[in-house]
């Protein structure tokens, strides 16, 4: 199922209600139908017990899985109409080994792990276990906590009180979700995204405002030569509104995104004019290399800023 596509109220399978000889086929069909890109291998005659519950909540969904020991592999399906979700995995009972994005994590009961469904992962269980997957809309989660990307595939230990609070809240939610209305479920998803911040690893990442300013500065430096670079482009790189990023830039530098971009272009052009290695470049070439489309306009703006024409500035 792709995020954003409307699905049934819930999907459910209990192997205890299916004849033994039909359980493998039923289990495989249910898992593949729920999670395109998933393959499951069970080292036995077939699953003797297992259960899957799934509840849709707008652009999010909650999946509860109880399974015999198995190896699960996921490969992202082809092009999707919406960005792939982020999954918060909670080990409700048993143990699992997760390999994702070059990292591996051993999960015990109460531990959690963040998984980016934009990339493949492998999951192994060596005993009968229970797992909860809360699949969250990517944009909403990353807009609130941009540094989540640094934590994919790592253990959020249940030994930490904050992680335990979040895990216990999600387990409790899973027990009662079937009795909640749509508006209540949506409110709970918003709350769960906010509650990610109680876990110690996420609480310890750099301040989101500082991170956004630093990323904006790096994006500007990499794209100074792009003549049509706009403040909207810089904000869109972070999936944040221009107004919010302007606020953060004002707090740090006392100017808007556009003002900082203009200032950096002028400063870099001045450095280039004084650089002996660029002595053979004309003023117009240096202007174009720093994102100015018109040499005459650059010269007038440069004189207003430095009270010298680019030519005289270079000589002096």
Per-residue pLDDT of 37-80, as tens digits, reads 887 777 655 556 677 888 888 889 999 888 878 888 888 877 66
Asked if the structure places residue 80 within a domain, the reply is yes
Q: Pick the last residue of a domain from 150, 181, 203.
A: 203
CA distance 280 to 275: 10
The pLDDT-based confidence of 235 (bands split at 50, 70, 90) is very high
Task: Give CA separation, 233 vs 42, 146, 221, 244, 259, in Å.
Answer: 48, 17, 13, 14, 14
Are residues 76 and 93 located together in one domain of the fold?
Answer: yes
Are residues 150 and 235 located together in one domain of the fold?
Answer: no
69 half-sphere exposure, CB direction, 13 A CA radius:
5
Instruction: Give Cβ neighbours of residue 168 (< 8 Å, ≥ 6 apart).
Output: none
Q: Pick the last residue of a domain from 175, 203, 231.
A: 203
Asked if the structure places residue 113 within a domain, the reply is yes
Q: What is the DSSP string of the chain?
A: --TTS---SEEEEEGGGS-GGGHHHHHHHHHHHHSTTEEEE-SSSS-SSEEEEEEEETTEEEEEEEESSEEEEE---S--SSPPPEEEEEEEES-EEEEETTEEEEE-TT-EEEEETTS-EEEEESSSEEEEEEEE-HHHHHHH-GGGGGGBT-EE-TTSHHHHHHHHHHHHHHHHGGGS-HHHHHHHHHHHHHHGGGSHHHHTSPPHHHHHHHHHHHHHHHTTT-TT--HHHHHHTTT--HHHHHHHHHHHHSS-HHHHHHHHHHHHHHHHHH-GGGTTS-HHHHHHHTT-S-HHHHHHHHHHHHSS-HHHHHH-
Sign of CA dihedral 273, 277, 283, 288: negative
The pLDDT-based confidence of 5 (bands split at 50, 70, 90) is very low
At 8 the pLDDT is 37
Asked if the structure places residue 3 within a domain, the reply is no
Are residues 230 and 185 located together in one domain of the fold?
Answer: no
Q: Locate 116 and state its tokens.
A: 């980016």
Q: Which of 33-47, 169-183, 207-221 has the lowest mean pLDDT?
A: 33-47
Determine the structural domain holding residue 254 and report its residue range. 208-315
The pLDDT-based confidence of 150 (bands split at 50, 70, 90) is confident
Per-residue pLDDT of 247-266, as tens digits, reads 999 998 999 999 999 999 99
Q: Nearest Cα to 69, choosing from 137, 131, 9, 119?
A: 131
Are residues 285 and 169 located together in one domain of the fold?
Answer: no
Number of domains in the chain: 2
With 50 as the cut, is the pLDDT of residue 2 above it?
A: no
CA distance 144 to 197: 9
Are residues 109 and 240 located together in one domain of the fold?
Answer: no
Are residues 85 and 228 located together in one domain of the fold?
Answer: no
CATH number of the domain that residue 252 is part of: 1.10.10.60
């Amino acid at each position: 199922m792709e995020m954003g596509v409307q699905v049934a109220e819930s999907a459910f399978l209990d192997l205890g209600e299916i004849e033994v000889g039909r359980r493998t086929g039923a289990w495989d069909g249910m898992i593949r139908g729920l999670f395109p890109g998933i393959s499951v291998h069970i080292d036995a005659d077939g699953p003797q017990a297992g259960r899957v519950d799934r509840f849709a909540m707008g652009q999010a969904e909650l999946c509860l899985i109880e399974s015999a020991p198995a190896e699960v592999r996921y490969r992202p399906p082809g092009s999707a109409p919406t960005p792939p979700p982020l999954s918060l995995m909670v080990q409700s009972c048993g143990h699992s080994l997760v390999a994702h994005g070059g990292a591996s994590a051993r999960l015990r009961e109460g531990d959690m792990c963040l998984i980016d469904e934009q990339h493949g992962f492998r999951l192994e269980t060596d005993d009968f276990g229970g797992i909860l997957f809360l699949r969250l809309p990517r944009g909403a989660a990353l807009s609130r906590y941009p540094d989540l990307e640094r934590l994919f595939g790592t253990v959020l230990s249940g030994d930490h009180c904050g992680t335990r609070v979040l895990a216990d809240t999600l387990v409790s939610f899973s027990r009662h979700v079937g009795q909640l209305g749509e508006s209540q479920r949506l409110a709970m998803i918003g709350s769960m995204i906010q509650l990610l911040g109680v876990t110690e690893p996420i609480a310890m990442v750099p301040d989101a405002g500082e991170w956004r300013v630093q990323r904006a500065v790096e994006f500007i430096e990499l794209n100074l030569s792009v003549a049509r670079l706009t403040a909207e482009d810089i904000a869109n790189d972070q999936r944040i509104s221009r107004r919010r990023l302007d606020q953060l830039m004002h707090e740090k530098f006392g100017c808007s995104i556009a003002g900082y971009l203009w200032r950096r272009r002028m400063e870099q052009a001045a450095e280039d004019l004084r650089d002996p290695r660029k002595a053979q470049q004309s003023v117009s070439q240096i202007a174009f290399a720093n994102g100015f489309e018109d040499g005459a306009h650059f010269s007038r703006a440069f004189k207003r800023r430095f009270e010298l024409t680019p030519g005289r500035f270079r000589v002096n």
